[in-house]
Structure 1
Amino acid sequence: MTAFNEVPGKVFRVRELHGHLGLPTDEPSINVTRSRLGRLVRQGFLEQSGRGRYQKRINAL
């Protein structure tokens, strides 16, 4: 959520988010992040604005 708070309104792709956070870009790491982002979408913190594109919900904390 920190990356989304730092750049409000920005739409991130998973690999771009990994680069922004300095995380490894190997496929297992990417899949874990996809899973976590999906959970944040279901909890209402993020919205998925397209396939593989995530952004912070406007009304999220």
Structure 2
Amino acid sequence: MAPAETATVYQRIVTAFNKHPRKVFRVRDLHEHLGLPTDEPSINVTRSRLGRLIRQGFLGQPGRGRCQKRT
């Protein structure tokens, strides 16, 4: 995936959490919400992206496999 495409996917993820700040997303639900492929390799890439957003403090992890915007 090209860097511009990666930035676009990150922006779509961040936008989804900004639009739904109280919603807790599972990775597969987030993919369905964004219209992204739900095959296992795509899901794993998004897990990595969400992990990075958690480490940066943008997202919290209220439970195993779940992410929510930090308030």
Name the TM-score, length of structure 2 as normaliser: 0.80
- State percent identity of aligned pairs: 81
Alignment of 1:15-30 (within 5 A): 15-30=28-43
Whose helix fraction is larger, Structure 1's or Structure 2's? Answer: 2
What is the alpha-carbon distance in structure 2 between the residues aligned to residue 34 and residue 8 of structure 1?
18
Superposed, 1:16-55 pairs within 5 Å as 16-55=29-68
How many equivalent residue pairs? 58
Q: Mind listing any 5+ residue stretches in structure 1 that lack a counterpart?
A: none
CA deviations over 1:3-52 (Å, ceiling 9, x no partner): 10111210000000000000000000000000000000000000011100
Aligned Cα root-mean-square deviation (Å): 0.4
Q: TM-score, normalised by structure 1?
A: 0.93
Residue type of the partner of 1:55? Q
1:32 counterpart letter in structure 2:
V
For residues 19 and 56 of structure 2, what CA distance do their matches in structure 1 show?
Answer: 20
